[in-house]
Each structure stands twice: as C-alpha cells, then as structure tokens.
Structure 1
C-alpha cells in the first residue's frame, strides 16, 4: 500500500509529520481533499451570506473583511461591471474557500479581476460567463449577466508547501479539483452550476500549469465529488457524470498529461434495492472511464460495511461481528450480492476491454482503514472505529491480483492514533507474507501451484482441502522456486513462488486453501484459495 488521503491542515509541522509517516511506511502518494464551490446570497449591504435557507442565512464572517473602497466586494464588483455598461449585472454569486494562493494566471481579465488584500486576509475576484465559456475577450461593454466567484485564499500557499514536501520525500501529490455544489434533491453534483465550476477549474488549472509545470511531485489531480459505481440506464442524465466530463475536459486542455484520479464507492448490500452486481459495476466502470479520468480507485467498502471480505466458498459463514450493525446477524450470502474480490475482478476485465477500445485507465484499490461503527474509536475518527494490521492485510489479499496500486483512506486519524497506531503496526510487521492469488501452473513438465503476493521469499506454503487429513507443507526455496521479477500490472513488491503439487491427488471441484508463513513463523493474516475445477 503506497498512497494515502490526508486532510487539510493549517499547521506546516503537521503536514511534515504526515509526509514523514507516509514515507516511513513506504508511501509514495498523497491525496488531499479540497473545498467546494458554494453558491451564496447577499444581504441588503451586499455582504456574502452563509449557506442555508435565506431566512436563516447570516453574513459569512470569512468574507466580512472583503471590502473595496468602502463597499463589500460583491457590491464593488457589480459597480465595476455597471461602469462598463449599466446593463451589466451579477447573475449569481459563488464563494470558494481554500488554503491555497494563486498567481496572476488565475485572472483572465485584469481590468475586472484582481487580488484583494485586507490585512492578513487574501481574496481573488473572478468574473466569469454563466455558461463557463472562455471567450478570450475582456469586452464588458455589451451588457450581459456574469457570475462572480469570490475566492478566500490562504495566508500562504499550501500546495507549494505540499509539493516541496513531496520533492523532499519522493511523494507525488494529488490536489483536489474544485468540488461541485450538491443537488439537494438527487445528491448528485448539481449541473446548474457546471458553468462557474468549469470556469473556476480552468483558472486554477491554468495557474497550476504556470507555477508548477514539470514539477515531479505534482502527481495528478483528484476528483473529490463521490459517486456510487453502478450501471446507469441513462448516463447522460447523471449529474455527477456530466460534471466529471466537463471538468475533466478542462483539465485535459490546461494540464495535458496530468492524470485525473477518482474514487467511487460500491454497495453490495442485498437489503437495498439499488445495489448492483459485479457485472453492473463493471459496466459503470466503463462509463466512468469515458468521462476522461485516468485512474479509478474504487473504495473496497469494508470500512463502511457496504461490502464484505469473503471468498466464494465462505458465503454460508456468519458475517464478521463488526459488520452486524450494518447488515444484521446473518450470513455473507444473505447480506451481500458478492464480495469485494468479485467486484474488483469484474472491473479488471472491464479495464482490459477498454484498453482494446483505445481507452486507457488504471484500476487502483482504495482500502478503507476503519470499522463501520465507533467501537474502538480514537483520535479524530468521527463515527468510525480503528482497525489492526491483520484486517488491513486481509483487505490487500481480497483486493487481489486485479489492481496496479493500493491506496487507503485515510492517513489522518486512522493510521496515526491508537496504541500502537496502525502506522507503527505496519512498520513493525512490514515483511509479513501477504498472498493475493493462487493458480495452477506447470514448470518443466511438473504440475504445481503458483502463489502471487508480497514478502514471499523463504516462506513455507501449506495446502489443504476437504478430506485431506494433514496439510501439505512445502518450502519453495528447497523444492520449488521464487521469482521477485516485477509483475506488470501489479503494485511494486509483488512477487511469485511456485511449489510442486500432483493435481491428480486433489479432488475435482475442491477449494485448495493456501496458507503462507514466514521463516520466523508469522502466518499471513488471510489464506488464498484455488478452485480446482479441472
């Protein structure tokens, strides 16, 4: 696992500790959340109001300082527009809270747009077309409606600091794209705000291109707005997909070659009428890829309880006790349509089919490093509980041989609190074997079994199946083989071992359980299984 989410933080020392910690456990990727674009109203004095119903909204203290020549910033913008033509007007007002600062490239029309500094507060005034177009002209003399985007910036530029830390620790940073406002009726991204959202995205990406072009630590950008992955009957009517397409098109134009990452979620609970099958999720994966994203990192669902970690031969087993508050006291077969592994397997097939169509997209896994309820909660984990390394190892195993990179939500809190914290558990037990797949393979005319995974060198392999009296234990270093050659399409560190096995002794349709143990006796948290259907 080499990537982690981090939360915005005003303290530079906290950022540094987070990067140090990520680096210490082998991480090379940091993804950060952003701040949403928010439509706002004005009071009689032209002051920006808080979110919410007009009756309850009050002047927003963050924007109270924003004044120009004695007028609130929104009023000042309107006056300047009307000075160019009395028929000009402000159609909509938006604010965007951020801890970043921007250079002059964020402005397209300096005659109407500029930076506003009031004491230690920094604001950026953008005047954009309501449809989000970039006309390439700064002629405001024709009389029209415009949208105002007022950005409240940071006292310093957080992204510059993050990229500097990335350079120092060899970590790629994925800053957030401006997230869309939410449609309160559908909970999708609200398409009525696509215009100003794409305009803001264009300006921010243009600024990044000017200030950070060629910067090694700028790994990509992160599409923050969440989406449930499924097979949509009418994708063109899904607001979030429409917003993705519009924003991704802008990123392509302004930051060519910079990858776009999105992390949708899945829900396999049978009690919900809309839960999709793996095949339906695979179709949704294809639709999502065609919005222009480069990396799809689905959430594995174990932290929320929306998916379970189980094998096909485990379906009649009771669900894990920590899942019972979510799905009830039942079996995996009754609780879930399919397991995490089944969904990732289906998406890997979709990825390969897309590649044949000329659509290249990477499939990553986002492992949820928490429990669905706050039992064992510590630090700032909100309503979630903490986990241990064996649970995390199991998630790595069940994501399987289908993903090219594994990342996790999230570093802040979930990896840094507890006794010992999860990050220390990883550092102390970093080389415990983690198998991810087993397959039938022949070597030099000998039948055998190939195991793929991590930290497999010098391991002992134990194989068992129903009706076998004693597990068969084999040391690959003595009678098999070990191959540490990097495996295309799998995360770094993936390797293979092979052991001989006479398949004529294995009953047809038997599930072969494969356990892997390190030379010092540490057994993998989760076995892998091979279905002998031949």
Structure 2
C-alpha cells in the first residue's frame, strides 16, 4: 500500500537554493522513546591500525576563540534554521562553522556525501590523475595487486574511489582478508572487496568476482568534530550518504550501472556511523545526497529511485530506530512547458514511497540555485524575464 506523502513539523521546510542554505522547521526534536538503539551487524576484527583519534583541542583558535568555552549566544534568529555545511578535519574551522550557524538561530546542520566514482587500476598507482589515490599500497605492495591476490583466485571486476573527509574504523570492515586499512606516506586508505552478487554484508562471491572500493581519508574524523560541536550547541546533524556519479548522458540522473555496489559500500559507511554516532544526541539522521527532481516521466528518473529504495532500506537495517530519519530535498523545473504543478504531488508521493520504513523528511528546494524557479512579485507576473537571466530561465514571461 502506498504511503502518504510525509509532512513534518520539525525538520521539514523550504530549501534555500544558495549553495549553503537549507530552510527547515521542526518535526521530532527528541528521540523516539519507543525505539531504543538497535544493534547493527557486528563487524569482524580487522587488521591494521585504527584511525588516529581526534587530537586534544588547542586552547584557542585564531582570533582568540576558546574551544573549551563556546559562545552560545544567538545574535539574530533568522527564519532559516538549517544550513548545509562543508565539514573540515580542522577543529577551529569546525567551531567557526557551528558557532556561526548557531549565532543566527540554526538548529540543524546538513552535510553532503561524496560520490563513489568509477576508476581504474591506473588511478591507484603513481602517475594517476588523482593524487589522493595514486599512492595506494598495502605493506609496500601495489594496492590493486594486493586486492586481486585476496580474491582467492578470482578477479576484480571494477574499481571505485571515494574521497572522504571522515575516517573509517573497524566497524566498517566486515570481511577479514578482503577489507583492510593501510597508512602510507601518501595518506590513509581503506579498501573493500565487495562481491558482485551484492547484498548488505556478504564477504564471499560465488563467481569469485569482486568490485574494489578504495577510500582516502584524513587522519582526523571531520564528522566526529562536527557532531562534537553540534552537541555543545544543541544542534542536530544529518550526515550525507555516499552517492553515485551522474550518468554522462543525463547528468541529473544517477549512473545506475553499479547501484548494488553503492549499496554494499553504503552498508559499511552506516555501520561505521552507528558505531561512532549511534548514541550521540546530535546525530539526527542522514541526508540523501543524490538530489532528484519531481517528474512526470518516472522511467527517466528510475535510477535515482532505485538508489533511494536501496539506501533507505539500508538505513533502516544499519541505524538505531531513533536515527532512522532520511532528509530528502527534491527540486522542480516549473517553467512553462516544463514540469506542470499538477505533477508535484504524485512525484513527491513516489519519492516518499522509497522511505522503506524510515522516517522521511521532505524538504523541497525553492529552485533558486538552478534558476529554474525564479521568485517574483504578483505585479511582475507578466513581465519578460530579465536579459541576464534568459540563458538559464528562458526568454519567456
């Protein structure tokens, strides 16, 4: 049975399409008293050193900001109470972000997930195009060759890379021998061999074919710094899910050729978040980083909906009940001749149907960031679009 379009009083509201703004109201400010944390699958012990813990805070930051004495004053309480933020492994930068947002009335911070990007063995070796991955080795051995040797006589089908601002601890390493961590002069790498047959936590591939995922990480976990400070200021955080790369033919739609591999990787990421943040009051849920439009042609957007259905199901499987919130921010092209207003409700209903038992928060974007839904006063309805906007909005009224 189709679920009704979800509405919220707390985390739902209007998206402000400037790159960092998200308008949110409030829906469920306290954890569900009936849904205590549910344990996720226990990860096997992993080899290799654990990521370095966050360093002890320096007494002050540039400008004399004392990390141990946060300024919780609200100077101006704006109607927009939620913000997209970029995380940083720098404690002072994180404090400036959280304290600055709180000072203007923020109660919610949202991060974007990085894309899981198709790559090649050459990208992992010296001379590769991305220096974040071109130094991947394991105990001095070529990292790709090491992974192939761990397939048990099988093969690596595809390679994917993930440039993270967070670290991956042992809870993300489900499969001893096929998952691991390597710290080199070039940085810290975490790698997984995911069976091509898919699944949330399988280790063995009946066909002995695997997809290799390699993540590069800083030494300090930026997500933890953000959540630490969010708790000091009483602010909720939605962490961004990993997302697929766009389809080169239709850049606003996901590359659907590796959705199952994305799901296996998402399962590992969420297991790590559960271990680190599952008991943290500031961790409110996840943000669906793959933003999608409201639509009339579901077939075109089907790859996005498949990602939604898979990732939201994994959220329900991996996170405690009180953290199973998925913030989704659809947008619309409502210019004349584009998506009719009558299509909005059924499209939102279809998006809501991907909730898979999680509590979905719909936060529609206002469209200003794409130039597709301009704001105008009633008296400007019949005026021609400004000349400097016609290349984006179209030459229309």
* TM-score, with length taken from structure 2: 0.72
For residue 17 of structure 1, what is the aligned residue in structure 2?
96
The answer for the alignment partner of 2:133 in structure 1 is: 63
- Give 1:309's match in structure 2, choosing from 369, 375, 378: 375
The alpha-carbon distance between structure 1 residues 38 and 158, as it changes in their structure 2 partners (threshold 3 A), is same
C-alpha change, 1:164 and 1:4, in structure 2 (3 Å) is: same
Q: Cα 1:26–1:39, aligned 2, differ >3 Å: closer, same or farther?
A: same
Count of residues paired in the alignment: 312
Give 1:241 deviation, angstroms.
Answer: 1.1
The 5-angstrom pairing of residues 340-379 of structure 1 reads: none
Tell me the SS of whatever aligns to 1:238.
helix
Relative distance call for 1:211 and 1:11 in structure 2 (3 A) is closer
Distance 1:324 1:185 in 2: 24
Report the Cα distance in structure 2 between the residues aligned to 1:121 and 1:173, rounded to whole angstroms: 27
1:69 to partner: Cα distance: 3.6
How far apart are residue 315 of structure 1 and its match?
A: 2.7
Q: 1:87-106 alignment to 2 at 5 Å? A: 88-106=154-172
Contact map agreement 1:99 1:155 (CA 8 A) in 2: no
The aligned counterpart of 1:48 is: 124
Matched residue of 2:118: which SS? strand
How far apart are 1:11 and its partner, in Å?
3.2
Q: Give the equivalent residue in structure 2 for 1:442.
A: none
Which residue of the other structure, out of 28, 33, 37, is the alignment partner of 2:107? 28
Give the number of the structure whose alpha-carbon radius of gyration is greater.
1
Matches within 5 A, 1:357-436: none
Structure 2 Cα separation of the partners of residues 172 and 321 of structure 1? 41
Q: Does the C-alpha gap of structure 1 residues 150 and 276 become closer, same or farther in structure 2, counting only changes over 3 Å?
A: same
The match for 1:205 is: 270
Q: Larger relative CO (CA 8 A, sep 6+): 1 or 2? A: 2
1:227 and 1:328, CA in 2 relative to 1: closer, same or farther beyond 3 A? closer
Aligned mate of 2:304, from 215, 235, 240: 240
1:129 alignment partner in structure 2:
195
Q: Distance in 1 between matches of 2:186 and 2:389?
A: 48
SS at match of 1:243: helix
Query: 1:26, 1:219 → 2: CA distance?
Result: 18
CA RMSD of aligned residues (A): 2.5
Task: Indicate the SS of the match to 2:290.
Answer: coil
Query: What's the CA shift for 1:139?
Result: 5.0
**Once the two structures are superposed, what CA deviation does each residue of 1:90-130 show, in whole Å capped at 9, x if it has no partner?**
11111111011122110111232121111471111211112
Contact 1:123 1:151 in 2 (8 A): yes
Match of 1:39 among 96, 114, 118: 118
The change in CA–CA distance for 1:18 and 1:42 in structure 2 (over 3 A counts) is same
For residues 69 and 305 of structure 1, the distance between their equivalents in structure 2, rounded to whole angstroms, comes to 50
CA distance in 1, matches of 2:195, 2:368: 43
Kept in 2: contact 1:98–1:153 (CA 8 A) = yes
The 1:306–1:206 alpha-carbon spacing in structure 2 relative to 1, beyond 3 Å, is same
| Partner residue of 1:227 out of 273, 279, 292 | 292
- 8 Å CA contact 1:32–1:175 kept in 2: the answer is yes
**Structure 1 305/186 Cα, relative in aligned 2: closer, same or farther at 3 Å?**
closer
Report the CA distance between 1:281 and its aligned residue.
Answer: 1.4
2:354 counterpart residue number: 291
2:248 corresponds, among 160, 184, 187, to 184
Classify the secondary structure of the residue corresponding to 1:229. Answer: coil
User: Could you tell me how far 1:143 is from its partner in structure 2?
Assistant: 5.5
Deviation at 1:328, TM superposition (A): 6.0
Cα deviation code 1:69-106 (max 9, x no counterpart) = 4321111111122xx3x2x1111111111011122110
Q: Stretches of 4+ moved more than 6 A in 1?
A: none
Distance 1:164 1:253 in 2: 25
Kindly provide the CA deviation profile for residues 400-431 of structure 1, in whole angstroms up to 9, marking residues without a partner as x: xxxxxxxxxxxxxxxxxxxxxxxxxxxxxxxx
Q: Distance in 1 between matches of 2:256 and 2:382?
A: 44
CA distances 1:121-172 after superposition (whole Å, capped 9, x unpaired): 1111211112421465x457x6610111111112111111000010011111
Aligned equivalents of 2:260, 2:204: Cα separation in 1? 19
Residues 119, 58 of structure 1: alpha-carbon distance in 2 compared, 3 angstrom cutoff: closer
Tell me if 1:174 matches 2:250.
no
Unaligned runs of 5+ in 2: 1-79
TM superposition shift of 1:242? 1.1
Q: Which residue of structure 1 aligns with residue 315 of structure 2? A: 251
- In structure 2, do the counterparts of structure 1 residues 203 and 303 end up closer, same or farther at CA, with 3 Å as the change threshold? closer
2:191 alignment partner, SS class: strand
Displacement of 1:219 in angstroms is 1.5
What's the offset of the Cα at 1:323?
Answer: 4.6
SS in 2 for 1:306: coil
Residue number among 330, 334, 345 corresponding to 1:264 in the alignment? 330
